[in-house]
Chains A and B, each alone.
Chain A
Amino acid sequence: MALDDSEEIGDEALLVLFAGGDAEAAALLTRRFTPVVLAHAYRLLGDRAEAEDIAQEAMMKLWKIAPEWRQGEAKVTTWLYRVTANACTDRFRRRARAAPLDDAPEPLDEAPGAEARLQEASRGDALNAALAALPERQRQAVLLRHIEGLANPEIAEIMQLSIDAVESLTARGKRKLADILRKRQEELGYDIE
């Protein structure tokens, strides 16, 4: 089946075609969603190789769920963001088990070695390093709101929180991020007057 005007075909329609065995739908879904899940995983984890593994894992889950996808219940991207974030959380837990931080108050929330990484970070990845210093849920909320550009109701659906909780997480995350960046402002060459 030739899928002309592929941009016009909705995500759910492509999933139906995929479940029917359409190889072109598989290619279109891969091209449409792999960049989204890869970028989100990369920003959450700060590691390209791990982000690629997560992207592959998330897309595999999408392929498997395609025949049972319930039309109109959730956006495919919302579902993918949630699957990606959950897979990243599993990675954080594995990292935490591999390098336990005895003195950290929230060992699952804080990325290990964040401060040390921040010292060596170049301007290009300064924000990633600063984000890594945020608790996991704050980091995810800030990323979804200010980098992916999603609206609070969709973020609430992805994170399975109330909109108020999302707003609170985002505000606290931004304050902490601003504190970190302010300290490195001169070093990073940000001249904000």
Chain B
Amino acid sequence: MTSSDMENKSGDIARDKDDALLERAFEAARQDTPVPDAQLLRRIMDGAEEIQATFAPAVMPDAFAQRVSLGALLVDALGGFRGLGGLAAASVFGLWLGLSPALGIADFTQAILGGASLDATSALDADYVYLADLGDL
């Protein structure tokens, strides 16, 4: 065995001794675990009750705040109040379009159904004469 091997071996032995020493100390410390007494547990429970009492009233304002913030989020998504104004104007115009009589549709219906008024056909005839005069037809 070389001197280097002997040094390594004595180093290993020293480390093993240290590990054993530490393990005994750690075990002693694990055994020396403090146990909370009733007074400490009571103090901590009192704190828990005190904090829990603050939870219930806090629920309503939080829920209200959440609703408010959801509303604000919707307004933002539509481009803010200016965007909402535009949306309202567009809605009113759409409603007016929907409710107003469909004038062009009436003429078209009459033409299809062969009604008395054939203004649209007459207009086409006029165009035909005009185009024939120009030599296009």
Contacts and interface: CB of A to CB of B under 8 A. Distances in A.
Interface of A: 18-21, 23, 26-27, 29-31, 34-35, 38-39, 42-43, 48, 51-52, 55-56, 59-60, 63-64, 66-67, 123-128, 130-131, 146-147, 174-175, 177-178, 181-182, 185, 190, 192-193
Contacts, number: 101
Interface of B: 17-18, 20-22, 24-26, 28-30, 32-36, 40-41, 43-45, 47-49, 51-52, 55-56, 58
A146 B56 contact: no
B51 A27 contact: no
Contacts of B58: 67
A51 B30 contact: no
A55 B28 contact: no
A120 to B, nearest CB: 17
B contact face: mostly helix, strand, loop, or mixed = helix
Given A178-B21, A185-B21, A128 B48 contact: no
Summarize A's interface: helix, strand, loop or mixed: helix
Given A178-B22, A182-B18, A192-B21, A18 B48 contact: yes
Contacts of A21: 52, 55-56
A128 B40 CA distance: 22
Contacts of A127: 25-26, 28-29, 32
Contact of A27 (B21, B45, B55): B45
Contacts of A18: 48, 52
A22 to B, nearest CB: 8
Contacts of B29: 43, 127-128, 131, 147
5 contacts: A21-B56, A38-B34, A56-B40, A127-B26, A192-B21
B112 to A, nearest CB: 67
